[in-house]
Chains A and B, each alone.
Chain A
Amino acid sequence: MIAGVVSCPQPPLLLPGRTGCPVPEVERLRTACLAAIGELLAAGPESVVLIGGIAAAEVDRPAEPVSVRLGRHLLDDAGCSVPIRPVAIRADAGVEECLATGRQLAADAADAADATAAPGRRIGCLVLADGSARRGLKAPGYLDPRAAPFDASIEAALRAGDPAGLAALDAGLAAELLVAGRAAWQVLAGATEGHRFRAETYYLDDPFGVWYPVVAWRPEPAE
């Protein structure tokens, strides 16, 4: 059912033109995102679910949140020609709400597959999520020594292809550490609950003090 998952970061500086002239560190990140998304699309999904968080300042605005807009741009740049279904979740949504949203996503996809009598209908998933913004003295959120270990726990879950590791993230601590992607990752966790994946990492750096993981999950091959 799931053709694959890509997790990309969600900084506004990845939107087209936002850095003014191209900035090498940002272009390196963009290249990694497009490589991961390109391979996801090459697996031939019939549609892509795009999961992204709604920041507090974006809640009452009519426009799509930055995370979703960015996801659309990245998919477009990677040559996506299949339908995109955005799923926006409040960045401060509780763990249970996120998991439930993810489970519903998976259930809807299963129902749709049954309805069209199309076994093996394959959905790709792009999650826009980044880690802590408090990773150093020059970071936007300054330095919090808890940031690196928290991000390390996210990295471990991503590398292990383990949705349960993402489901276990502490929402309160994530909020204190300005981990913008916690809710989106937990929607992913709900949607992929019970499955395991092989992970490939494309980028794990923090050039500006915010953690930007680019990781792809592919379904474990059937026995």
Chain B
Amino acid sequence: MLRLGRHCFADDALLIMAIVNRTPDSFYDRGATYAFDKALDRVAEVVAAGAEIVDIGGVKAAPGEEVDTEEEIRRTAGFVARVRADHPDLLISVDTWRHEVGRAVCQAGADLLNDAWGGHDPRLAEVAAEYDVGLVCTHAGGVVPRTRPHRIDYDDVFADVLARTVGEAERAVALGVPADRVLIDPGHDFGKNTWHSLEITRRLSEMVATGWPVLVSLSNKDFVGETLDLPLEQRLLGTLATTAVCAWQGATVFRAHNIVETRQVLDMVGAIRGSQPPRRVIRGLA
């Protein structure tokens, strides 16, 4: 069971975490939701499209202009407070690696801290415990935040993914984060090349088998682009194929840009698996 905010989700749930970035320069949305009003509109849009969680980020993952802690808080905390007020039941996640940002957004009403860089700031887990919010433990190969992988290799990437994510999850619980509020994420493309990202996708069922709910963040990433040799704006189909493969293997949360399409893929896989009913079965039964 996964417990986020006041909600409880069964082990076979298929949830969408919709990306809403408060950045001028993230790789896919490129500032589309940097303005406060545009970002609020986007939250309403993704909720209507079926996302259970919004993931608010203030710093782009790729290298670039420095965004310090104060600026990151400025971009996220006030927005979290407004979203909380407008959408009392919506699960709010914040994409940050910094404990100070974690504290500010938890005070503003966030339900989940999405640490994409794998515990770079060890105090973030303490903040999650203090505020009784959820935590995503992501594998990033121990790299410094906002750096690109350069000639990274692993003796066994999957073993490294399991060891680091499960290790982080257990540490979080030891610090006081409730075990049913912790997720693990293999971290596609974070400290990994396309070969690594394909392998962690292929073997995702082994990650699910650890018992921790699995979050995957696949959307329009370079491993899709490199597999199909397609630019950013043509990666939706590859992303959805990967989404289906991860859903079939038992991932729980899917961090996505394209909510309508992702919802359809997850609903289809859910029905095929038998974990959720098809919407309208009439044909042949009339």
A, B bound: yes
With a cutoff of 8 Å between Cβ atoms, the chain A residues found around residue B147 in the complex are: 141-142
- Rounded to whole Å, the gap between the CB of B239 and the closest CB of chain A is 18
The prevalent SS among residues of A at the interface is: loop
Contact of B151 among A20, A55, A61 (CB under 8 A): A55
Are A66 and B151 in contact (CB-based, < 8 A)? yes
Most-contacted residue by chain A among B63, B147, B155, B226 (CB, 10 A) = B63
- Assess whether A178 is in contact with B150, with CB atoms less than 8 Å apart: yes
Contact among B148, B155, B194, B227 with A140 in the assembled complex (CB-CB below 8 Å): B148
The answer to whether B206 has its CB under 8 Å from any CB of chain A is no
Select from chain B the residue with minimum beta-carbon distance to A210: B150
* Contact pattern, B 191-225, Cβ under 8 Å of A = 1, otherwise 0: 00010000000000000000000000000000000
- The answer to whether A142 and B151 have CB atoms under 8 Å apart is no
In the complex, which residue of chain A has the Cβ closest to the Cβ of B198? A20
- How far apart sit A21 and B229, CA to CA, in the bound complex (Å)? 10
Is A142 touching B63 in the complex (CB atoms < 8 A)? yes
Q: Which residue of B lies closest to A18 (CB)?
A: B195
**A141 to B151 alpha-carbon distance, docked (Å):** 11
* A133 sits at the interface (CB 8 A): yes
Q: How many residues of chain B are within 8 Å of chain A by beta carbon?
A: 14
Residues of A within 8 A of B63 (CB): 137, 142
Q: Is the CB of A141 within 8 A of B153?
A: no
The reply to whether A12 and B148 contact each other, CB–CB distance below 8 Å, is no
| A118: chain B residues within 8 A (beta carbon) | none
CB of A143 to closest CB in B, whole Å: 8
B176 lies within 8 A of chain A by Cβ: no
* B152 smallest CB distance to A (angstroms): 8
- Chain B contacts for A133, CB-based, 8 A: 150
Q: Mark B154-182, 1 if CB is under 8 A from A, else 0.
A: 01000000000000000000000000000
CB of A57 within 8 Å of the partner chain: yes
- A133 to B, closest residue via Cβ: B150
Which residues of chain B are near A178, meaning CB under 8 Å? 150
Check A57–B153 contact: CB distance below 8 A: yes
A140 to B155, CA, bound (A): 21
From residue B195, how far is it (CB to closest CB) to chain A in Å?
8
Question: Which B residues contact A (CB, under 8 angstroms)?
Answer: 63-64, 147-153, 155, 194, 226-227, 229
Q: What are the 8 tightest A-B residue pairs by CB atom distance, in nearest-first order?
A: A140-B150, A142-B63, A140-B148, A12-B151, A133-B150, A141-B150, A55-B151, A178-B150
* 20 further contact pairs, Cβ within 8 A, besides A20-B194, A180-B151: A11-B151, A12-B151, A12-B153, A20-B226, A20-B227, A21-B229, A55-B151, A57-B151, A57-B153, A61-B155, A133-B150, A137-B63, A140-B148, A140-B150, A141-B147, A142-B63, A142-B64, A142-B147, A142-B148, A178-B150
Q: List 7 A-B contacts (CB under 8 A).
A: A11-B151, A12-B151, A20-B226, A55-B151, A61-B155, A140-B149, A142-B64
